[in-house]
Structure 1
Amino acid sequence: MHYALSLRTFFYSHYFHLGLRFAAGLIGVTLIALPLSDMNTAMTVCIGALCTALMDMPSPLRHKFNEMLASVLLCTGVTLIISLCGPYPWLLMPMMVAVSFFACMMVVYGKKSMPLQLAALFIMTMSMEHTMTVRQALSHTALFLLGSVAYLGYAMALAWLLRHRIKQQVLAEALFELAAYIDIKADFYDTRFNLTEQFNRLVRHQSLLADRQQASRDLILRSHQNRKDAIVVQIHVCMLDLYELVLSTHTDYAQLRTHLADSPVLKALHDLAYKAARDIESVGYAVARKQASTQAIDYSAELAAVESHIEQLQQQVAAGAPVHEALAVLRAQHNKLRAIIRAIGDLHVASQKEYEGTPFWVDADMQPFLSQQQYELQLMLSHLRRDSPVFRFALRVALAISSGLAVAEWLPYAAHSYWIVLTIVIILKPSFAMTKQRRSDRIIGTIIGCVITALVLKFAHYTPVIVGVLILATVATPTFLYVRYRYAAIAVSVMILLQMHLIAPGNTDLVMERLVDTFIGAAVATLFSFVLPNWEFQSLPRLVRQVLEANLRYMESSFELLQGKCRNDFRYRIDRKRLMDSLAALSAAMVRMLDEPASKQRAAEDINLFVVQNYLLVAHVAALRAILRRHVKDIPAGPVNALLEHSHVQVCKPLARALAPHGGGAPAAPDAPAPEQQGEAVAWPGWPLVQRRIRLLQADAEKIIVHSEAIGRNVSAV
């Protein structure tokens, strides 16, 4: 369950605070405008504030201002254009198609442009209902602009006052997602769970965790000038170090289950991981409440149980039992879990102490870690081509809206065609899978919202009660918009229907008409989801290549770091982030593809295995770092670096071969001679562990090329 849906954490999440901020701004703007004008004027001002509020998301202050100002200017322009075209149906239709197309082309700027696109299409649909003179259109646009600017000023003032609080909330969310990630890893020790299915869950959660960590980076690493900011920076850095330790815990779970299936040690390992997740949650909970956290969880019983079983296995090995591998794996897991517990302790300490300076890489350029805000017209123009997914999506939406308007003209009742268009705008998304999910949520949410509204209007005739429900719905709409859209669809249906009732009471057919309009809009959106479609398998070759390129860069920086050729791990962290981002993008595309028609699915199993093998390479590198740190005393630098250098060649060679033209057709270079095998000669306790990880690393690198070639064959097959 999402952390923000738990009652314990809901009221401290930035989602709930967004809902409060959103509702307070809209209601405040309306209440200020209402005594100075009539209801229609106040609602125009309110809608202006609403369109700007859709861009009110956690962002760095400069980015936030740019995003919200873009919404003010764009939506004001759309309002003016559609209002002026209102009296001329022959002009209104093509103008709406043009606005729809342009708004959808903005998707090219990434995820943050989606609310801007929605705001532009929303005000387009709301403005199309009115027939105005030129003077009225200018006055209407001025009132809309007034509401937009008022909310912009309100939101920026709050964002500046609460800038540190928002950082804490976003950081807390990243910590909760890391805890959920460890919960999935804990179930690897539970024999009731299938290992393959569990690993698939882990990889898919990786994309969500990567997104939350990036949101934390963007807010925390851009500006951290005071001592309070230093605390969240330190917690953030400790969280990333902890994350790498968690990655290193991946091991041969099948072997553990085979040798230790009847032993209570597996439950002890599971309980250690489960307690670690709860411990991290306690840090997240404390950060969300603006408090320092202290470590209250006791791991001693589980650690003692694991240590006891290690002693038993050592006795069995001494007696000649073939459990050497199980002993090595269990001992390694015990050491890694101890390291994780220590890192969680550092996380607690980081929340307690105020640092004089910012505890991060000194004089380092943070830009590679941060999302870049670029809204260049040339980027949009470069996608004005038939094979561009964004161009096809924009055309698809424009055609769907045209059809929705045409259908509305034939309805037997006095339909508000904007509801049909709004339903199309909300449901029709760039991918088929997103459209399918949004359609389901929209229909179910609208039905429930209409039922709730009908009950309120039937049994609550007292206006303050209706206004109270309206306020609750206004708070709930943005709160659940990014957490559980179905809940947001319920709230927005209640909100709009009650607003319409307050403006024009007495329309008994209001709820039923909105239901019919929703079903019509959903039907049109579903039909046009098959028009100029962009199936996910078409993007797979590009995404696979991005993963291979990122992995090759990551391996280069990893081996430089492992061999001590770098002053610090800055480049390594950047390349690891880029690899994780590319893996998250590929994994998300695969998940969306599985929601598409079966005839449009390609190489799902190979994609999954490809993602897993790349993920394993990251886990092996993290494990190697942990081994070298743990056994740093008397490390034999010569033999270790020779082994790492040889492994570097053997790992990077298949990755480069997979990137060669024509899908790996380049001839393989002859293997480099292996260094002298001196496993027994090197008297260093970490030597066998390094050798074992190197073997696993090389084997998994070879498998990557096999799966990448299989994906290429399956995608290109007719």
Structure 2
Amino acid sequence: MHYALDPRTFFYSHYFHLGLRFGVGLVGVIALAMWLTDIHIAMSIGIGALCTALMDMPSPLRHKFNEMMASVLLCTAVTLLISLCGPYYWLLMPMLVAVSFFASMMVVYGKKSMPLQLATLFIMTMSTEHTLTPVQSFAHAGLFMFGGLSYLAYAMGISYVLRHRIKQQVLAEALFELAAYIDIKADFYDTRYNLTEQFNKLVRHQALLADRQQASRDLILRAHNNRKDAVVVQIHVCMLDLYEQVLATHTDYAALRTHLLDSPALRTLHDLAYKAARDIESVAYAVTRKRASYPEVDYTPELKALDQQIAGLQDDLDAGKPRREAVTVLRAQRNKITAIIRMIGELHVSSQKVYEDTPFWRDMDMQPFLSQQKYELQLMVSHFRMDSPVFRFALRVSMAIAAGLAIGAILPYKAHSYWIVLTIVIILKPSFSMTKQRRSDRIVGTIIGCIITAVVLKFTPSPAAILAVLVLATIATPTFIYLRYRYAAIAVSVMILLWMYLVAPSSNLISERLVDTFVGAAIATAFSFVLANWEYQSLPHLVKLVLTVNLSYMEASFDLLQGKYRNDFIYRIQRKRLMETLAALSAALVRMLDEPESKQRAAEDINLFIVQNYLLVAHVAALRAILRRHVRDIPSEAVNAMLEASHATVCRTLSVALSRHTGATPPAAPLRREAVAEPDVAWSGWPLVQRRIRLLQADADKIIVHSEAIVRNVANGD
């Protein structure tokens, strides 16, 4: 279950606070307007506030202002343009199609532009409901802008006052997802779970975790100027260090299960990981409640039991039982988990201290860690080509809306074209899988919303009761839109239907909208196959990007391991880039599996390709942990020689895989260098480093196999 759906955390999450801010602001603007004017003017102002509120998301203050102001200006221009064209049907229809096309092209700027696209299409649709004179059109646009600016001022004021609180909430979400990630890893020690399925689950959650960590970076690292900010920065940095320690716990789970099936050690490891996840959750709970966090989890019983189990296995080994590999791996896991427990302790401490400044890579440029959002016209223009998924999506939306308008005009019953178009706008998304999910949620949500509205109007028809339900629905809509869209669809149906009832009561209100929803859903479904962009078409590009970024990551990793950098700044940047590209490929795979079976390509090889790249990151993290743990008496020259040889081999391997996708001449086959001889000095880390390097090279070799299979299967599928 999502952490924000848990009653213990729901009211502290930024999702609920977003809904509360949205509801209070929107209802407040409309209520004030109704007090000063009449209901029709208040509705015009309220629509402007609603379109602006759609852009009210957790963002740095400067970004939030730019995004919301863009919504005010763009939506005002659209409502004025459509209102002026309203009396001229021959002009209105082409203008609606043109606005739909250009609004849909805005998705080229990324997921943050999706609410702006929705707001633009929403106000375009609502502006067709009434025919206005030119004077009325300008007056309506002025009221719309006033409502948008009113909500903008309100939202910016609240966000400024609560700017530190929002950082805490977003950081807490990243911590909760890290705890969920560890829960998945804990089940690797449980023989009831299939290892392959667990790897798949882990990689899927990796994409979500990367997204939450990036949201935390964007808010926390852009502005951290006071003592309160210093605390969340330090927690954030400790969280990322802890994440790397968790990555380093990857091991040969199959060997552990084979050799320790009859030992309680696996259960003990599972219990330790489970406790670690709950410990991290306790930090997240404290952060959401603006409190310092103190350790409450006791790991002592499990650690003592694990030490006894290791001692018993060592006795078996001394007696001649062949469990050397299992004992070595188990002892290494014990050390890694101890390091994680120690790092969680530092996470608790970081929430307790009051820092004078932000102890985070002083004098370093944080821009590489932050999302770069550029709204340049040239970027949109560059996608005006038929092979662009965004261009095809824009054409698909404009054609679907044109069809919706035409069908709405000829249907025998009293159809509402604007409601049909609004349904199309909400359902039709850039990918087939998103459209499929939205269609289901929209239909189910509308049916339930209509039933709830009918019950409210039947049994509690008083204005006070209707307003109370309306306020709750208004708060619930943004609260659940990123958590459970189906709940949001229910709430938005109730909200819009009740608003319409208050403005223009009608006995057929609910049944008419329900039929319009089914018509719009049918049109959106039909056009989801028109100029469709199937996910397999983007796979070669995404795979090539992963390999390119992985090469850069390996360069930075081995330079760091060999001590060529003073700090791990560059390494962290490259690791972030690799995790993001893996998350993008994983998301594409998940979407592809929701598409028709005839449009699926190389699903198993893509999944294994993602897993192998993920394992390379885990091996590097493990090497860092080993070198830190065994730093005493380390033979630097010999270790660096081994790392250099491994680096050359792995990079050549990745280059061969990349050449399959670029068509370039592959480099010479990787030369298997002789293992670097161990020096005379005794060093405890030798067997661990050598074993981890062997695993690193073996998993790199598998990347070539899966990469070639992806190229072959996608090409054959075409």
TM-score (norm. length: structure 2) = 0.99
1:510-549 to structure 2, matched below 5 A, reads 510-549=509-548
Q: 2:302 is aligned with what amino acid?
A: E
Equivalent residue for 1:248? 248
Classify the secondary structure of the residue corresponding to 2:410: coil
User: In the TM superposition, what is the alpha-carbon distance from 1:705 to its structure 2 partner?
Assistant: 1.3
Residue 603 (structure 1) aligns with: 602
Following superposition, the deviation at residue 459 of structure 1 comes to 0.8
Please give the per-residue CA displacement for 1:43-90, whole angstroms capped at 9, x wherever unaligned: 110010000000000001111110001000100000000010111111
1:263 positional shift: 1.7
**Contact 1:642-1:675 within 8 A present in 2 as well:** no
Counterparts in 2 of 1:415-494, with a 5 A limit?
A: 415-494=415-494
Once the two structures are overlaid, the 10-residue window that deviates more, 405-414 or 176-185, is 405-414
Q: CA deviation at 1:410?
A: 2.0
Where in structure 2 are the equivalents of 1:28-427 lying within 5 Å? Answer: 28-427=28-427
Q: Which amino acid aligns with 2:3?
A: Y
Query: Could you tell me whether the CA contact under 8 Å between 2:661 and 2:711 is conserved in 1?
Result: no
Shift of 1:677: 4.5
Deviations 1:148-199 (A, max 9, x none): 0000111111111111000000000000000010010011011110000010
**Alpha-carbon distance between aligned partners in 2 of 1:70 and 1:349, rounded to the nearest angstrom:** 42
Count of residues in Structure 1 that have an aligned counterpart in Structure 2? 717
Q: Which amino acid aligns with 1:565?
A: K
Aligned pairs for 1:605-684 (under 5 A) are 605-660=604-659, 666-669=665-668, 671-672=670-671, 674-675=673-674, 677-679=676-678, 681-684=680-683
* Matched AA of 2:590: V
Aligned-CA RMSD value: 1.1
Task: Give distance in 1, aligned partners of 2:254 and 2:672.
Answer: 32
Asked if 2 retains the 8 angstrom alpha-carbon contact of 1:657 and 1:665, the reply is: no
Amino acid at match of 1:658: A
Kept after mapping to 2: 8 A contact 1:177/1:209: yes
- Does structure 2 conserve the Cα–Cα contact (< 8 Å) formed by 1:663 and 1:709? no
Q: Do the aligned residues in 2 keep the contact of 1:646 with 1:672 (CA within 8 Å)?
A: no
Against the structure 1 CA distance between its residues 667 and 65, is the aligned structure 2 distance closer, same or farther, given a 3 Å change threshold?
A: closer
Partner Cα distance (2:661, 2:155) in 1: 52
CA contact (8 A) 2:544 2:661 kept: no
Q: Alpha-carbon deviations, 1:375-427, whole Å to 9, x = none? A: 00000000011110000000000000011111111223322211110100000
State how far apart, in whole Å, the 2-side matches of 1:662 and 1:619 are. 25
Q: Is the 8 A contact 2:642 2:676 kept in 1?
A: no
Deviation at 1:92, TM superposition (A): 0.7
For residues 257 and 136 of structure 1, the distance between their equivalents in structure 2, rounded to whole angstroms, comes to 75
Quote how far apart the aligned CAs of 1:614 are. 0.2
Superposed CA deviations along residues 16-43 of structure 1, whole A, max 9, x for unmatched, are 0000100111111111111221111101
Give the C-alpha shift of residue 656 in structure 1: 1.1
Distance 1:453 1:72 in 2: 30
Aligned-residue offset at 1:504: 1.6
Question: Does the residue aligned with 2:352 lie in a helix, a strand or coil?
Answer: coil
Q: CA deviation at 1:664?
A: 6.6
Distance across 2 between alignment mates of 1:413 and 1:17? 42
Deviation at 1:678, TM superposition (A): 3.1
Please say if residues 561 and 569 of structure 1, whose CA atoms lie closer than 8 Å, have aligned partners that are also in contact: yes
1:428 counterpart letter in structure 2:
L
Q: CA deviation at 1:667?
A: 4.5
The verdict on how the C-alpha distance between 1:193 and 1:136 changes in structure 2, with shifts beyond 3 A counting, is: same
Counterpart Cα distance in 1 of 2:193 and 2:685: 32
C-alpha change, 1:109 and 1:473, in structure 2 (3 Å) is: same
Offset of residue 275 of structure 1: 0.7
1:421-463, CA deviations, whole angstroms, 9 ceiling, x for partnerless residues? 0100000000000000110111111111111111111111222
State the distance in 1 between where 2:262 and 2:484 align: 41
- Structure 1's unaligned 5+ residue stretches are none
Q: What letter corresponds to residue 305 of structure 1 in structure 2?
A: A
Go from structure 1 to structure 2 and tell me whether the alpha carbon gap of 1:375 and 1:366 turns closer, same or farther (over 3 Å shift): same
Bigger drift between 39-48 and 664-673 goes to 664-673
SS at match of 1:692: helix
Partner Cα distance (1:661, 1:252) in 2: 29
Question: Where does residue 578 of structure 1 map in the other structure?
Answer: 577
In 1, Cα distance between equivalents of 2:234 and 2:486 = 37
* Residues 557-597 of structure 1: per-residue CA shift (max 9 Å, x gap): 00000000111000000000000000000000000000001
SS, match of residue 660 in structure 1 = helix
Structure 2: give runs of 5+ residues left out of the alignment: none
Comparing 160-169 with 651-660, greater Cα deviation is found at 651-660
Q: Give, in whole Å, the separation in 2 of the partners of 1:233 and 1:667.
A: 44
Partner amino acid for 1:222? R
Worse overlay, 677-686 or 97-106: 677-686
Q: How many angstroms does 1:333 deviate by?
A: 0.6
Cα shift at 1:668 = 4.4
**Are the structure 2 counterparts of residues 671 and 481 from structure 1 closer, same or farther at C-alpha, using a change threshold of 3 Å?**
closer
Deviation of 1:265 (Å)? 1.4
Alignment-mate amino acid for residue 206 of structure 2? Q
Partner Cα separation in structure 1 for residue 272 and residue 534 of structure 2: 43
Distance of 2:666 and 2:32 partners within structure 1: 73
Structure 2 CA distance for aligned equivalents of residues 679 and 322 of structure 1:
25
Alpha-carbon contact 1:86-1:129 (below 8 Å) kept: no
Identify if the C-alpha distance between structure 1 residues 617 and 509 changes in structure 2 by more than 3 Å, giving closer, same or farther: same
The TM-score normalised by the length of structure 1 is 0.99
Instruction: Please tell me whether the aligned partners of residues 652 and 670 of structure 2 are also in contact (alpha carbons under 8 angstroms).
Output: no
Q: Which aligned runs of 4 or more in structure 1 are off by greater than 6 angstroms?
A: none
Equivalent AA in structure 2 for residue 476 of structure 1: A
Whole-angstrom CA distance in 2 between matches of 1:379 and 1:65: 22
Q: After superposition, what is the alpha-carbon deviation per residue over 1:525-564, rounded to whole angstroms, capped at 9, x for unaligned?
A: 0000000000000000100010001100000000000000
- Give how far 1:356 is off: 1.0
Partner Cα distance (2:171, 2:352) in 1: 15
CA distance in 2, matches of 1:424, 1:68: 24
Q: Deviations over 1:456-509 (max 9, x none)?
A: 11111222111101100000000001111000000000001111111122x121
Q: CA deviation at 1:679?
A: 4.7
- Aligned partners of 1:665 and 1:115: how far apart in 2? 41
Give the residue type in structure 2 aligned to 1:644: L
Q: Does 1:685 align with 2:675?
A: no
Structure 1 residues 74 and 665 mapped into 2: Cα distance closer, same or farther (>3 Å)?
closer
2:82 touches 2:96 (CA, 8 Å); kept in 1?
yes
Q: CA deviation at 1:682?
A: 4.8
CA distance in 1, matches of 2:628, 2:638: 16
Structure 1 distance, partners of 2:139, 2:596, is: 49
Task: Report percent identity of matched pairs.
Answer: 74
| Distance of 1:364 and 1:552 partners within structure 2 | 24
Aligned residues of 2:649 and 2:672 also touching (Cα < 8 A): no
Indicate the residue corresponding to 1:565 in structure 2: 564
Q: Is the 8 A contact 1:265 1:309 kept in 2?
A: yes
